[in-house]
Amino acid sequence: MSQISNAIEKRDQGPGAVIEQYKQELALVAASHVKVDTFARLAVGALRQNPKLAAAAQSNPGSLMSALMTAARLGLEPGTEQFYLRPIKRKGVAEVQGIVGYQGIVELIYNAGAASSVVVEVVRANDQFNYVPGLHERPVHNVDWFGDRGDLVGVYAYAVMAGGATSKVVVLSRTHINRAKAKSDGADSDYSPWRTDEEAMWLKTAARRLGKWVPTSAERLTMPAERTDTVLPVGSAAPALDAADPDEDEGPVDGELEPAGGWPETAQPPQ
């Protein structure tokens, strides 16, 4: 019986219990469309699937809640390609880092209601790609989906706005990507998305640049079709992304909010 009691006590003091304890605080900062119970289950599921992530969360629950607060505030799903949770070590101390993924940025663009579609695609060496600004409204990209496409050479992104116009087209080469990667905190660590899912990070870099030119929102904005004139114009401020440098900073978006009573005593959110 003592072993069972110890197991229950250990479970109740684990990261899942911390998430449960702070659900009310998550609900206070979460975007209105977030269902906090579902959000919490996703977070716990991510911990269960990754032992090193769970260990980092156990060691530093404050960093876990900092990341989850950011995900909730942006209305993104934790532990998915919308919002990565990854274990890192900072000065030898394990902690959880939250990173907005490319699907998360695309979600923020759709939330604003100004774009009817968002296109973010990588270009590989054997693809046929042509885009001349001023001549082409959008890139012409032909792909042999069943052949050898070759190595990554570029990425592009654009949005088709509700009225049919095309936003600014973002086109990035490997050189641009490498510059962004060089400024990313922990890009060479074992669990960095730059190593585990390089293509997704290329897509994220382009999507983030696109976020400079189209509206983004953590809240899902809804309005009657006849009121499209009230949608933010292309190139207006992007409220969901302006907390981080959209040009080059491809590192994490750190949490900014601390719940009443502070974080668990074992750790504080990263500074």
Report the predicted TM-score, pTM, of the whole model to 2 decimal places: 0.74
CB 270 within 8 A of CB 254: yes
Cα separation of 126 and 262, whole Å?
53
**Band of residue 242 on the pLDDT scale cut at 50, 70, 90:** very low
Could you read off the pLDDT of 44-62 as tens digits, one per residue?
999 999 999 999 999 999 9
CB 82 within 8 A of CB 107: yes
Q: 243 φ, ψ to 5°?
A: -75, -15
User: What pLDDT, on the 0 to 100 scale, is given for residue 3?
Assistant: 45
239 has pLDDT over 90: no
141 has pLDDT over 90: yes
DSSP 8-state secondary structure symbol assigned to residue 168 = P
b/e string for 99-115 if b means 16 or more Cβ within 10 A?
bbbbbbbbbbbbbbbbb
b/e string for 67-95 if b means 16 or more Cβ within 10 A?
bbbbbbbbbbbbbbbbbbbbbbeeeeebb
Task: Extract the tokens encoding 199.
Answer: 């293509």
- Starting at the edge strand found earlier in the chain, the sheet holding 115-124 runs 115-124, 152-161, 170-173
Task: Extract the tokens encoding 258.
Answer: 């601390």
Partner residues linked to 93 by β-bridges? 90
Task: Give 114-143 as a DSSP string.
Answer: -EEEEEEEEEETTSEEE--BTTBSS-EEE-
**Between these two residues, 270 and 152, which has the higher pLDDT value?**
152
- Give domain limits for the chain: 2-102, 103-230
Could you read off the pLDDT of 92-127 as tens digits, one per residue?
889 999 999 989 999 999 999 999 999 999 999 999
List Cβ neighbours of 233 (8 Å cut-off, separation of 6 or more): 114, 215
**Between these two residues, 14 and 250, which has the higher pLDDT value?**
14
User: What pLDDT, on the 0 to 100 scale, is given for residue 142?
Assistant: 96
260 has pLDDT over 80: no
Residue 172, helix vs strand vs coil: strand
User: What pLDDT, on the 0 to 100 scale, is given for residue 227?
Assistant: 31
Which candidate, 228, 118, 98, places its Cα nearest to that of 167?
A: 118
In this prediction, residues 253-263 reach a mean pLDDT of 35
**Band of residue 42 on the pLDDT scale cut at 50, 70, 90:** very high
Is the four-CA dihedral 146, 147, 148, 154 of positive or negative sign?
negative
Give the 3-state secondary structure percentages of the chain, helix then strand then coil, rounded to 5: 40, 20, 45
Residue 38, helix vs strand vs coil: helix
